[in-house]
Amino acid sequence: MKWTVHDVDMYEKEKQYIDTAVLPLLPLTFSERAKLVAADGEFMQLITNEIERQLKGRLFLLPSFTYFLSETLDACVERLNDWTRELKEAGMSHVFYVTTDQKWKEAKQELSGALFFLPSVPFEHMDESYKQQIVHEQTSKLLNAFISWWM
């Protein structure tokens, strides 16, 4: 399920079956790294949308948790844990964070949810069929990680 009117309506009717929130962690910057950061965001959206499609009815794909690269990690962790607390109070047993930003690995122990790191893949000049292959491979790995977390 996604953050749309239709899916929220479905969630309200079926909430006892939907126990997992997926929260992409998306950095923002307008520095010289902006293009790379935007590409990572696009990559992550492809992966998380595919995860949502395959696990619809079990998880809720939320809008991205956005932060500026210039923010301190401590401030981001505090805000993210606040979001997670709200989600758990709303009934989400599991909160999965998905990111390509390596700085989150430093704070893994401080996070209230489970962190899943995806390696950054530059798609800009890549052949479409190769892109799809990478998305499929990364989605499979993430699906397996989610399923093993649930067990």
Q: Quote the CA–CA distance of 107 and 75 in Å, as a whole number.
A: 11
Which residue type is seen at 66?
Answer: T
The CATH class that applies to domain 5-150 reads alpha beta
Average pLDDT, the chain: 93
**pLDDT given at position 84:** 98
Nearest partner of 112 among 139, 85, 89, 93, judged by Cα: 85
Q: For the chain, what are the domain ranges?
A: 5-150
pLDDT at 114 > cutoff 90: yes
Residue 56 — very low, low, confident or very high, per pLDDT cuts 50/70/90? confident
Q: What is the mean pLDDT of residues 29-45?
A: 92
